[in-house]
Structure formats: structure tokens, C-alpha cells
């Protein structure tokens, strides 16, 4: 009888879950990131700028982001091929291949790094024949790229796979009955329906590659300016007790990663408004 009756939501627990969500995200993500930013304030602006624009930092960032981008592109294309084969065809060992896709997820990165290094070392199974062709993989940027491709592929496969599974075969039949050849069907009907999922997979593979440390450092050779990735540079600075330097590089990586993820997210939104789910 007093005042407005309390509105009851049909879904209980909003207050509780929202509170927990905010607390959890703050403790796990926001506070550490804030600490990172705060630490950089130990530096003056010139110092910060000096560290960030030093040749070694710039090269490390270029290697990290450039190779990650390339690896994500390769993963996108090859991931799509893998998804297509796994979803569309029935062949012996399909389930096995499907399970293999998850290995890079599950494998400790150091193990992956050691395995790849062994394989591509100058006397390794793949390294030796490649060396004869004059291609050096281990301890060069090519090695970094291969490690990044390795750890990124499940992201594309696992994000696109459910969407392709869900895609009705009837729309392909409809396209065919309207006179479309396979090329038209794939590029005008199937791929456009998959774009949002492809963008997500690409972004995840890219983000993972940028952040990858364990598997890359074994195969990279870690030559400053040539094959030294940004996360490694951060670790080196930390081991030299130059914490501010380390955080300065970290902040730049963070911002760059954030901008890229944001851009992909916008793209994805845009694609999704064009392809509403059912």
C-alpha cells in the first residue's frame, strides 16, 4: 500500500549476477590494467616517448603485430578450408581431424615451441629439406610466423564451424535452382553468411598471436630488431629490473591491441546488422 510496488523481473538474480560480474571483471581485468598504466607514470613523457620510439621497441612491435596479422590472414584462409572439409564432407578419420584442430588450444605453448623448433631446425625433418632450398625457418621471423599460425588455427575453425553447420543446405539448392554456378553460390551466398564469424575468428587468432610468448621464443632466435617479439622485449626489460620500460611497451601493445579488436568488433557489428540471425 505504500508507494510504488517493487517490480519483479521474471529472471531473478539480476542484482547478484551483475554485482559479481562487475567485481570479477574489475579484479581480474580492470585493476591489473590500471596498475599497468599507473606504473608508466614513473616515466616522464619524453622518457616514455624515447622508450616507445626506440629502434628496438619499434622493431619488436612491428614484428609482433605484422607477423600476427599475416598469420591471422593465413589462418583465416586455411581455417576456412579446414572448416569446409570438416563440415561438408564425410570421410574416414573426420572425427580425428576434428579433434586434432584443438591440439594447439590444449598443448602447453612451451611444448609446441620445442616441437616446432625441433621440426624446423636445420637438421629437423622439415628444416633440412627447406634448408636445401635455401629457406631458413628456425631462428628467423619465418619461424615466428609458423608458430603463430600453429597457435591461431583453432580460433578460426571453432568460431566458423558452428555457423557453417547451421547454414541451411537449402539456400545452396535455392541458389543452384536460380541458375547460380558453384562460384556464385560460394561467393555470393555462403561466404557472406559467414563473414561475422570469420571476422571473430580472425580477431581471436590475431589477438592470440600478438600475445603469444611460449611457443614463439623457442623458434624465434630472438635477435634484437630481427626476430625479437614485443612480449619477449618486455620480459627482457623486466629481468633487467627496468619495470617502467617494460610497462611502457606493454601499454603500447595494449592500446594497439585494443584499437584493432575494437575495429574488428565494429566491422563485425556492421556485418551482423546486415545478416540478422534468422
Partner 1 sequence: MTIEVRNIVKKFGSFAALDNVDLKVGDGELLALLGPSGSGKTTLLRIIAGLDWPDSGEVFFDGENALDHGASERHVGFVFQHYALFRHMTVFENVAFGLRVQPRGVRKSEDAIRARVKELLDLVQLDWLADRYPSQLSGGQRQRIALARALAIEPRILLLDEPFGALDAKVRKELRQWLRSLHQEIHVTSIFVTHDQEEALEVANRVVVMDKGRIEQIGTPGDVYDNPATAFVHGFIGESIVLPVEVRDGAVKLGGRKLDIVANGAAPGAANLFVRRHDMQIGPAGSGSLEGSVQHVRTFGPIQRAEVALCGSEGKTVIEIDAPRDRELRTGETIGLQPRRYRIFAAPE
- H or E element, residue 78: helix 55-88
Rounded Cα–Cα distance for residues 55 and 52 (Å): 8
Least distance to partner 1, CB of residue 264, Å? 19
Task: Quote the distance between the C-alpha of residue 216 and its chain's center.
Answer: 14
- Give the interface segment with partner 1, choosing from 12-20, 158-166, 251-259, 269-277 (CB under 8 A): 269-277
Is residue 242 a contact residue for partner 1 (CB under 8 A)?
no
Binding track, positions 116-155, relative to partner 1; x by CB under 8 A: ----------------------------------------
Rounded Cα–Cα distance for residues 7 and 12 (Å): 11
Least distance to partner 1, CB of residue 181, Å? 6
**Of 102 and 173, which CB lies nearer to partner 1 in the complex structure?**
173
Rounded Cα–Cα distance for residues 189 and 167 (Å): 10
Least distance to partner 1, CB of residue 265, Å? 19
**Of 132 and 168, which CB lies nearer to partner 1 in the complex structure?**
168
Taking a C-beta distance cutoff of 8 angstroms, is the pair 244, 106 a contact? no
DSSP 105-137: HHS-HHHHHHHHHHHHSTTSTTHHHHHHTT---
Binding track, positions 151-190, relative to partner 1; x by CB under 8 A: -----------------x-xx-xxxxxxxxx--x---xx-
Taking a C-beta distance cutoff of 8 angstroms, is the pair 223, 215 a contact? no
**Of 2 and 181, which CB lies nearer to partner 1 in the complex structure?**
181
**Of 242 and 274, which CB lies nearer to partner 1 in the complex structure?**
274
**Of 98 and 172, which CB lies nearer to partner 1 in the complex structure?**
172
Least distance to partner 1, CB of residue 155, Å? 23
**Of 3 and 276, which CB lies nearer to partner 1 in the complex structure?**
276
Q: Which is nearest to 65 in space by CA: 213, 265, 211, 267?
A: 211
Q: Which is nearest to 229 in space by CA: 40, 71, 65?
A: 65
Least distance to partner 1, CB of residue 159, Å? 17
Rounded Cα–Cα distance for residues 124 and 25 (Å): 44
- Which residues form the interface with partner 1 (CB under 8 A)? 168, 170-171, 173-181, 184, 188-189, 192-193, 195, 274-278
Amino acid at each position: 500500500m505504500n508507494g510504488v510496488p517493487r517490480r519483479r523481473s521474471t529472471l531473478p538474480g539480476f542484482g547478484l549476477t551483475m554485482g559479481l560480474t562487475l567485481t570479477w571483471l574489475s579484479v581480474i581485468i580492470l585493476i591489473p590494467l590500471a596498475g599497468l598504466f599507473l606504473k608508466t607514470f614513473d616515466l616522464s613523457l619524453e622518457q616514455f616517448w624515447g622508450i616507445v620510439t626506440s629502434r628496438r621497441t619499434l622493431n619488436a612491435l612491428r614484428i609482433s603485430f605484422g607477423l600476427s596479422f599475416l598469420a591471422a590472414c593465413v589462418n583465416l584462409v586455411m581455417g576456412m578450408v579446414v572448416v569446409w572439409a570438416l563440415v561438408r564432407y564425410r570421410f574416414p578419420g573426420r572425427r580425428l581431424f576434428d579433434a586434432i584442430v584443438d591440439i594447439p588450444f590444449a598443448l602447453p605453448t612451451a611444448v609446441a615451441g620445442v616441437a616446432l623448433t625441433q621440426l624446423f631446425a636445420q637438421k629437423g625433418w622439415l628444416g633440412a629439406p627447406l634448408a636445401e632450398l635455401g629457406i631458413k625457418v628456425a631462428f628467423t621471423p619465418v619461424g615466428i610466423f609458423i608458430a603463430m599460425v600453429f597457435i591461431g588455427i583453432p580460433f578460426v575453425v571453432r568460431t566458423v564451424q558452428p555457423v557453417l553447420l547451421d547454414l541451411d543446405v537449402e539456400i545452396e539448392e535455392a541458389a543452384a535452382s536460380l541458375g547460380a554456378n558453384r562460384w556464385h553460390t560460394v561467393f555470393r551466398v555462403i561466404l557472406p553468411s559467414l563473414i561475422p564469424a570469420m571476422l571473430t575468428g580472425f580477431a581471436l587468432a590475431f589477438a592470440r598471436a600478438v600475445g603469444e610468448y611460449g611457443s614463439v621464443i623457442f623458434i624465434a632466435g630472438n635477435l634484437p630488431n630481427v626476430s625479437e617479439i614485443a612480449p619477449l622485449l618486455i620480459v627482457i626489460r623486466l629481468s633487467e629490473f627496468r619495470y617502467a620500460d617494460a610497462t611502457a611497451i606493454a601499454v603500447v601493445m595494449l592500446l594497439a591491441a585494443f584499437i584493432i579488436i575494437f575495429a574488428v568488433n565494429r566491422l563485425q557489428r556492421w556485418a551482423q546488422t546486415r545478416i540478422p540471425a534468422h
